[in-house]
Amino acid sequence: MCVAVPGEIVRVENDGTAEVDFGGVRRVVSTALVPEVRPGDFVIVHAGFALHRVDPDEARQTQELFRQVLDELPS
Amino acid sequence: MNFLRDSGPSGPELISGLVARLRAYRGPPVAIMEVCGTHTVAAARMGLRSLLPDGVRLLSGPGCPVCVTPVDLFDQALYLAQEAGVILATYGDAVRVPGTHGSLGGARSQGADVRVVYSALDALALAERNSDREVVLLGLGFETTAPTVASALLRARQDGVKNFSVLSAHKAILPAMEALLQDPEVRIGAFLCPGHASMVLGAKAYAPIAERYGVPCCVAGFEPEDVLVGVLRLLDQVQRGEARAENAYPRAVSAAGNRAAQEALGRVFRRVPARWRGLGEIDGSGYDLRPGFAPWDARKRFLQGIRFEGWEPPGCRCAEVLRGRIEPPECPLFARTCTPQQPVGACMVSSEGACGAHYRYRGRADG
Amino acid sequence: MAEPVVTRAHGGGGREMHELIQDVFLAGLDDAGGGGSDDAARVEVPAGRLAVTTDSFVVQPWRFPGGNLGDLAVCGTVNDLAMVGARPLYLTAGFVLPEGLPLRDLEEIVERMADRAREAGVRIVAGDTKVVPFGDPVVNTAGIGALPEAPVISGSAARPGDAVVLTGDVGRHGIAVLSCREGIGFEAEIESDVAPLNGLVAALLASGAEVHVLRDPTRGGVAGALNEIASASSVEIVIDEARVPVAPAVRSACDLLGYDPLEVANEGCALALVAGRDAARALEALRAHPRGRRAAVVGEVREGPARVLARTGLGGTRLVDEPAGELLPRIC
């Protein structure tokens, strides 16, 4: 239902915004809804706001989940 | 790079493995409903329905914010732009939606000041740059978008921006899911839950629905692999006779969701009964500005005492489409008088509406 | 001293106008201009048929990453001529300028026109200026080109079995312009692809490949251009989404704004529909040209209803509709 795009924090400003790189496209987004982001963090952005900070462990969880679905589900 | 696209496991072997799993399903028949426009599009795009085993159906529910918004809201926005003389800021999604007397795009051609923005903060900045004008943001969307508008309103109050206000049509997805489950004419066996609204709500938010109604729920992402895994998790629950809230999109959605966004929502909005196109009025399904935000509430400031009828087009069966009772082609208007160029009903207006997606993806290369 | 700007006197036909013509237009165009000072230019044309076209250009903002209004005004008309297989010869330029436009800006526009005219090998031989109270600067260019007897290249000439070739990656112009527009603004490493295509088209035609249709997918993008062709030729066109070249940054910008790259405007690439058996030859000729390095076969033409389909991942197919009016950033 919503266009939400992941990007990497390039620079954190002191006014509650940060510059985010979306694969070669940069835009200033609000970080008001994701406290404590640092350069190098990946965030998911919707309508100009970062809404989620991606934890690298969560990406690994996805790998495990998919593997599990392939290997364990009864057919 | 797109982290969500590229960090997920992918590849043709994974997909063919998942499709083989899906086709091998031998459990009870079930209707799975997705309630997210991006899922509607992803499913249509990947041809998911053609991959489903016998007995498994995919329904597209009320997941497109533009589609579920009643006509009179667009009439209110048109009134603000044309009669009240405000700068009406809107997301691009709403520009072509027909109200009773035309669309915002049409009004703009006739001189109304309609500005397309990408973010609620862009609308706030517009107000700060045009301090002699009133700027009203047409606020549409579910729990993904509503917190961003809440955040802009908190900022407006803090900075004392007085010429900015919001016409809120924001909606809550959970009450709509419950309303569908309570509808005796609709039979939903499982919910594929929205990926991005769940960033805010958290995957746990669906647990009460799963338990109370015995309906499996699973949050899923939007790549073909994500959607397939989501559907497989649901089918696994159905086969085992379980009903839990699962999360197949952990790289974007946590169990508890985004606390800061939930808090912003709660500070700015209160839940009120709201009307949905196709579903009627649903308790607690609307986000209205709290009384403390009255100075930023466009309804209170510009629309007091004015009635908007809201004309629903005759013959349109969007209501049944939104409840999963019929498929888009079963509507007599579909692709005849109702097309993306000349939409009659709400579901055709947005490319992620059930009818809009069905229209775009109906052409099969092989048939 | 105040910066010199366009005034009503510049459109008045008196001394100021002559100074403008001399100092800005003739000096700026230099060898790319010419045509004399009479009321009409006298030009040499080869024997045979001519192709004639005209177009007016306006863009907000008038200066964008990779070019300005002047690039568009020359390349747009040169490309319109090239898309019927004509060799562009001469252009005219009409300027409708808002009062108060800094002369420096006008000079910048004219400079780009001169560069592009040289690049395309055409001369701008006649011109006109009008001054209006407000608005954006508008440049109209008309062009004539020498048209060979054969082949007849037309949007209605697509045939089943044709290969659909794209001469470059798509979406760069639209995204570059959008990146600097109010209310949307983002920074991107994306420049407009605006360029004259007559050299590239000449290379394609010289390869001997049987070319049926040429079309530059400007406003409405590839989706709009293919729909026009499908409708004019009464054929079904099927493309493979994955084979359409899109620069990563353009893809990212489209993700961000909810756009379909197929609907975004281009000013420096073309669609060529060539006989299927000649696809490899066409591709080779295009790739050997500096403007065609990313050329790719993206689909084919077949008998069927007049429509455009795109194969998506997993064997899905979607209808590629004609884009509806202006592109709007979506959040849903």
What is the three-class DSSP state of B21?
Answer: helix
Q: B5: pLDDT confidence band, cut at 50, 70 and 90?
A: low
Bridge partners, residue A9, by sequence? A20
Tell me what pLDDT residue B363 has: 55
Question: Which candidate in A2, A30, A52 is best for mutational testing of the B interface (most B CBs within 10 A)?
Answer: A2
**Strand boundaries in chain B, DSSP class E:** 30-34, 56-60, 87-91, 114-117, 135-139, 164-168, 190-193, 217-219, 245-247, 269-276, 280-289
Fold of B30-315: Rossmann fold (3.40.50)
Nearest Cα neighbor of C72 from C115, C25, C24, C21 is: C115
Higher pLDDT, B17 or B216: B216
> Does A25 sit within 8 Å of C185, measured CB to CB?
no
Higher pLDDT, B14 or B111: B111
Q: Is B310 left (phi over 0), alpha (psi -120 to 50) or beta?
A: left
Question: Which candidate in B148, B361, B362, B366 is best for mutational testing of the C interface (most C CBs within 10 A)?
Answer: B361
> Average of pLDDT values for B11-33?
89
B258-262 contact pairs (CB < 8 A, 24+): B258/A33, B258/A34, B258/A51, B258/A52, B258/B147, B258/B199, B258/B200, B258/B202, B260/A32, B260/A33, B260/A34, B260/A35, B261/A33, B261/A51, B261/B143, B261/B147, B261/B199, B261/B200, B262/B147, B262/B200, B262/B201
> Average of pLDDT values for B233-260?
96
For chain A, the structural domain boundaries read 4-72
- Residue tagged 């989404």 (tokens): C241
Joined together, the tokens standing for residue C133 give: 């109270």
Tell me what pLDDT residue A72 has: 65
Contact list in A for residue C185 (CB cut-off 8 A) is: 27
- Residue tagged 């066409």 (tokens): C282
User: Which of C:176-195 have CB within 8 Å of A?
Assistant: 179, 185-190
> Does A46 sit within 8 Å of C331, measured CB to CB?
yes
Q: Name subunits touching B (3+ CB pairs < 8 A).
A: A, C
Are C228 and C168 spatial neighbours (Cβ–Cβ below 8 Å)?
Answer: no
Question: Which candidate in B6, B116, B137 is best for mutational testing of the C interface (most C CBs within 10 A)?
Answer: B116
* Chain B residue at shortest CA distance from A16: B155
Contact list in C for residue A27 (CB cut-off 8 A) is: 185-187, 256
pLDDT single digits (tens) B275-314: 998 888 999 999 999 999 999 999 999 999 998 877 777 8
Higher pLDDT, A63 or C128: C128
Distance, CA of B34 to CA of C182 (rounded, Å): 36
Contact list in A for residue B24 (CB cut-off 8 A) is: 75
pLDDT reading at C209 higher than 80: yes
C-alpha B139: how far from chain center = 12
Q: C195: pLDDT confidence band, cut at 50, 70 and 90?
A: very high
Q: Which CATH class is domain A4-72?
A: mainly beta
How many other C-beta atoms are found inside a 10 Å radius of the C-beta of residue B83? 11
Distance, CA of A20 to CA of A27 (rounded, Å): 6
pLDDT reading at B11 higher than 80: no
pLDDT single digits (tens) B160-187: 999 999 999 999 999 999 999 998 888 8
Nearest Cα neighbor of B276 from B173, B183, B147, B359 is: B173
Residue percentage of chain B with pLDDT more than 90: 68
Q: Name subunits touching C (3+ CB pairs < 8 A).
A: A, B
Closest Cβ–Cβ partner in B117, B352, B362 for C332: B352
Question: CA neighbours within 13 Å on the CB side: how many for B262?
Answer: 10
Distance, CA of B145 to CA of B66 (rounded, Å): 12
Mean of the per-residue pLDDT values of chain C: 93
Bridge partners, residue C296, by sequence? C166
Contact list in C for residue B45 (CB cut-off 8 A) is: 312-313, 316, 318
Q: In this complex, is the C-beta atom of A40 within 8 Å of any C-beta atom belonging to chain B? A: no
* Chain C residue at shortest CA distance from B3: C252
Across the A:B interface, residue pairs with CB atoms under 8 Å apart total 148
DSSP secondary structure code for residue C195 in this structure? -
Strand-strand pairing, C63-64 and B135-139: unpaired
Closest Cβ–Cβ partner in B63, B121, B197 for A48: B121
Joined together, the tokens standing for residue C137 give: 């600067």
> Does A47 sit within 8 Å of C255, measured CB to CB?
no
Lowest mean pLDDT among B290-294, C240-244, C313-317: C313-317
Tell me what pLDDT residue C183 has: 63
Task: State the Rg of chain B over Cα.
Answer: 21
How many other C-beta atoms are found inside a 10 Å radius of the C-beta of residue C280? 13
Contact list in A for residue C248 (CB cut-off 8 A) is: 23-24
C136 burial type by CB count under 10 A (0-12 exposed, 13-18 middle, 19+ buried) = middle
Distance, CA of C125 to CA of C116 (rounded, Å): 14
**Distance (Å) from the alpha carbon of B5 to chain A's nearest alpha carbon:** 9
> Does B151 sit within 8 Å of A44, measured CB to CB?
no
Mean of the per-residue pLDDT values of chain B: 91
Closest Cβ–Cβ partner in C185, C188, C331 for A24: C188
> Does C185 sit within 8 Å of A27, measured CB to CB?
yes
Give the domains, in start order, of chain C with CATH numbers.
9-34+49-147 (3.30.1330.10), 163-319 (3.90.650.10)
Nearest Cα neighbor of B298 from B170, B208, B172, B180 is: B170
Are B190 and B56 spatial neighbours (Cβ–Cβ below 8 Å)?
Answer: no
User: Which of B:122-181 have CB within 8 Å of A?
Assistant: 122, 141-142, 144-145, 147-148, 151, 154-155
> Does C319 sit within 8 Å of B361, measured CB to CB?
yes
* CA-to-CA separations, C306 to C18, C292, C325, in angstroms, rounded: 53, 28, 20
Tell me what pLDDT residue C274 has: 98
* Chain C residue at shortest CA distance from B352: C332
Q: In this complex, is the C-beta atom of A68 within 8 Å of any C-beta atom belonging to chain B? A: no
Joined together, the tokens standing for residue C272 give: 């060529």
> Average of pLDDT values for C213-241?
97
Closest Cβ–Cβ partner in B145, B195, B229 for A47: B145
Contact list in B for residue A70 (CB cut-off 8 A) is: 14, 17-18, 21
Lowest mean pLDDT among B203-212, B263-272, C14-23, C62-71: C14-23
User: Which of B:284-343 have CB within 8 Å of A?
Assistant: none
pLDDT reading at C146 higher than 80: yes
* Chain C residue at shortest CA distance from A27: C186
Phi, psi dihedral angles at B227 (to 5 degrees): -65, -45
**Distance (Å) from the alpha carbon of B162 to chain A's nearest alpha carbon:** 21
> Does C258 sit within 8 Å of A3, measured CB to CB?
yes
Q: B336: pLDDT confidence band, cut at 50, 70 and 90?
A: very high
Distance, CA of C18 to CA of B150 (rounded, Å): 58
Distance, CA of C310 to CA of C246 (rounded, Å): 15
Contact list in C for residue A45 (CB cut-off 8 A) is: 256
Residue percentage of chain C with pLDDT more than 90: 78
C-alpha B315: how far from chain center = 23
* Chain C residue at shortest CA distance from A29: C186
DSSP secondary structure code for residue B318 in this structure? H
Bridge partners, residue C214, by sequence? C272
Nearest Cα neighbor of B117 from B145, B147, B88 is: B88
pLDDT reading at C110 higher than 90: yes
> Does C315 sit within 8 Å of B141, measured CB to CB?
no
Distance, CA of A26 to CA of A11 (rounded, Å): 11
> Average of pLDDT values for C117-132?
96
Are B285 and B171 spatial neighbours (Cβ–Cβ below 8 Å)?
Answer: yes
- The DSSP annotation for B179-212 comes to HHHH-TT---SEEEE-TTHHHHH-GGGGHHHHHH
> Does B225 sit within 8 Å of A52, measured CB to CB?
no
* Most confidently modeled range among B35-49, C7-21, C125-139: C125-139
Lowest mean pLDDT among A7-21, A61-75, C144-158: A61-75
Nearest Cα neighbor of B18 from B230, B243, B244, B250 is: B230
User: Which of B:101-120 have CB within 8 Å of A?
Assistant: 118-120
Q: B358: pLDDT confidence band, cut at 50, 70 and 90?
A: confident
pLDDT reading at C199 higher than 50: yes
Contact list in B for residue A67 (CB cut-off 8 A) is: 9
How close are the terminal C-alpha atoms of chain A, in Å?
Answer: 31
> Does B1 sit within 8 Å of C248, measured CB to CB?
yes
Task: State the Rg of chain A over Cα.
Answer: 15
Q: B96: pLDDT confidence band, cut at 50, 70 and 90?
A: confident
How close are the terminal C-alpha atoms of chain B, in Å?
Answer: 35
Q: In this complex, is the C-beta atom of B65 within 8 Å of any C-beta atom belonging to chain C? A: yes
